[in-house]
Amino acid sequence: MNQYIDKNKDKFLNELLDLLRIPSVSADSKFKPDMIKAAEFVRDRMKDAGADRVEIFETPGHPVVYGEKIVDPSLPTVLVYGHYDVQPADPYELWNSPPFEPIIKNDRIYARGACDDKGQFYMHIKALETMLATHSLTCNIKMMIEGEEEIGSSHLETFVKEHKELLKCDTILISDTSIIANDVPSIETGLRGLTYMEVEVVGANRDLHSGVYGGGVANPINVLCEMIASLKDEKGHITIPGFYDNVQNLTPEEREALNSAPFDLDEYKADLQIADVAGEEGYTTIERTSIRPTLDVNGIWGGYIGEGAKTVLPSKANAKISMRLVPNQTDQEICALFTKHFESIAPPSVKVTVTPHHGGLPYVTPTDSVEYEAASLAMEESFGKKPIPTRGGGSIPIVALFEQELGRKSILMGFGLDIDALHSPNESYGLFNYYKGIETIPLFFKHYARLKSM
Ligand code: BES
Ligand code: MN
Ligand code: MN
């Protein structure tokens, strides 16, 4: 198998670069034609790799690409999930090279989506090709690559509910997460949930002269800042009543295990060029970014931001606020608590509107399952080191829904690194990681089939 990968190294890479040239940004309707191009590219490459029943399913949003290889109905079936959509590349001026013109520098591929998730799901298509070419596929494979992960997977939800038979499987395998380091393999056993809100604060019916009216009429930007500031206390706790009610606290043993993963705070700070970290009192950085919920402003705007100074009392201010959730919080519950609280703290001098965007549930998977064991053995075999279980801080909204609708757990066997700069300018993916993924995935199927038959 490794021989086949070695022989086809350049082809595998060039195909990924072609995929990265398609600006499949799901959030921005101007890229709609590119979304279709990307879906067709994925469909065609799945076909080339040897998948059957390859099909593009339209949704009211962006299409879903499906393909499968059923070798023997008596063998276990693995559903591979990934997403071909990417985050917007803005701000473009901070990229050292154009985001949709991939380049290789210092053994890394630089492009939007290089790691998240094009580089990672494409490993699965190349792994399938490799297994079929070398007659070593030991499981049935179903592949579903969607186009709306970065905007909340809302139409995929309906798709999954309506195609339960098509997606029927024994487990789900996903490469859309990270490892600790290239010499410290790890497997994420949890994801945080998410609820994403937009708020608007409106004062007077028009922008006003800040001298004539200033001091006598509410400034919505000032008010919004005060409201946001009050959402956390001096210990970094979120002040929304009921916010922590359902948060599952870990046992001291679980916390100790979590904190025993290799982590260098000084390196972390140096990488981000910050003098200190910040967050909820009583928790480590590892905990703050995985097992604890958060509240963050993602964007805030209003008033005059052009050149020079304009003395104005703006009539409106807006912000986008997200909360990362942990078991057993639900996005529905937290969305309702946030809305009620945010409305209640608005002074009578302004009008506040809260609009929910998308959300998703948190997820955890046990480490004593057959599929976890298979992933662990696969990584141990390819990295030469047993992977460490970690809890991830990011979100993949569909994973909890898979569990609800298909009754199956997902394994998050990702190969990214923190330095890959997901969602940031200059996103990249290591060539080492790309090829290591292609090498490890077939080992997962090998171990999974063997363990399932025991
Ligand atoms: N692949 C990421 C999630 C991720 C990254 C998990 C790194 C663990 C480690 C995914 O594409 C993503 O960015 N998800 C969004 C979800 C959202 C837009 C609904 C996120 O976490 O912000
Ligand atoms: Mn992703
Ligand atoms: Mn992402």
184, 183, 185: which is closest to 412 by C-alpha? 185
Does the CB atom of residue 85 touch ligand 1 within 6 A?
no
Q: Which atom of ligand 1 is nearest to the CA of 393?
A: 8
| Closest ligand relative to 177 C-alpha | 1
What was the pLDDT predicted at 363? 97
Q: Which atom of ligand 1 is nearest to the CA of 358?
A: 19
Does the CB atom of residue 397 touch ligand 1 within 6 A?
yes
Does the CB atom of residue 323 touch ligand 1 within 6 A?
no
Residues, CB-to-ion distance under 5 Å, ligand 2: 116-117, 176
Same domain, 428 and 334: no
State which amino acid sits at residue 250. L
Does the CB atom of residue 157 touch ligand 1 within 6 A?
no
Provide the 8-state DSSP code for 178.
B
* Residue 103, strand partner residues: 110
Mean pLDDT over 138-156 rounds to 96
Provide the 8-state DSSP code for 292.
S
- Domain holding 336: CATH number? 3.30.70.360
CA of 417 to the centre of ligand 1 (A): 13
Give percent of the chain above pLDDT 70. 100
Same domain, 43 and 93: yes
What residues make up the domain containing 237?
Answer: 193-247+293-360
Is a pLDDT exceeding 90 seen at residue 318? yes
Same domain, 103 and 159: yes
CA of 174 to the centre of ligand 2 (A): 10
CA of 313 to the centre of ligand 1 (A): 37
| 3 state SS of 183 | coil
Assess if residue 304 is contained within a domain.
yes
| 3 state SS of 270 | helix
Does the CB atom of residue 86 touch ligand 1 within 6 A?
no
Same domain, 221 and 147: no
Is a pLDDT exceeding 90 seen at residue 274? yes
- Domain holding 143: CATH number? 3.40.630.10
Q: Are 118 and 445 in contact (CB under 8 A)?
A: no
Same domain, 26 and 147: yes
Same domain, 133 and 41: yes
Distant-in-sequence, close-in-space partners of 44: CB < 8 Å, separation ≥ 6: none
| 3 state SS of 159 | helix
Mean pLDDT over 260-281 rounds to 96
Specify burial of residue 247 (Cβ count, 10 A radius: 0-12, 13-18, 19+). middle
- Across all residues in the chain, what is the average pLDDT? 97
Closest-CA residue, ligand 1 atom 7, reads 177
What was the pLDDT predicted at 1? 87
Which of 123, 395, 411, 429 maximizes ligand 1 atoms within 8 Å of its Cβ, making it the mutation to test the pocket? Answer: 395
Provide the 8-state DSSP code for 13.
H
Tell which of 313, 332, 360 closes a domain: 360
Residues present in the chain in total: 454
What was the pLDDT predicted at 29? 97
CA of 115 to the centre of ligand 3 (A): 9
Closest-CA residue, ligand 1 atom 6, reads 394
Same domain, 166 and 199: no
CA of 116 to the centre of ligand 3 (A): 5
Alpha helices in 163-314, H assignment, sequence order = 220-229, 252-259, 265-272, 285-288
| Cα–Cα distance measured from residue 429 to residue 295, given in angstroms and rounded to the nearest whole number | 29
Does the CB atom of residue 178 touch ligand 1 within 6 A?
yes
Q: Which atom of ligand 1 is nearest to the CA of 153?
A: 19
Angle at 55 between CA 51 and CA 61, to 5 degrees: 135
The per-residue pLDDT for range 321-348, each reduced to its tens digit, is 999 999 999 999 999 999 999 999 999 9
Assess if residue 259 is contained within a domain.
no
Q: Which atom of ligand 1 is nearest to the CA of 192?
A: 21
Same domain, 389 and 337: no
What was the pLDDT predicted at 143? 98
Does the CB atom of residue 152 touch ligand 1 within 6 A?
yes
Q: Are 156 and 64 in contact (CB under 8 A)?
A: yes
Closest-CA residue, ligand 1 atom 1, reads 176
Does the CB atom of residue 394 touch ligand 1 within 6 A?
yes
Specify burial of residue 215 (Cβ count, 10 A radius: 0-12, 13-18, 19+). exposed
Does the CB atom of residue 392 touch ligand 1 within 6 A?
yes
Same domain, 187 and 200: no
Assess if residue 185 is contained within a domain.
yes
Tell if the pTM clears 0.85, that is, is over it. Answer: yes
Give the count of domains, the chain: 2
Does the CB atom of residue 177 touch ligand 1 within 6 A?
yes
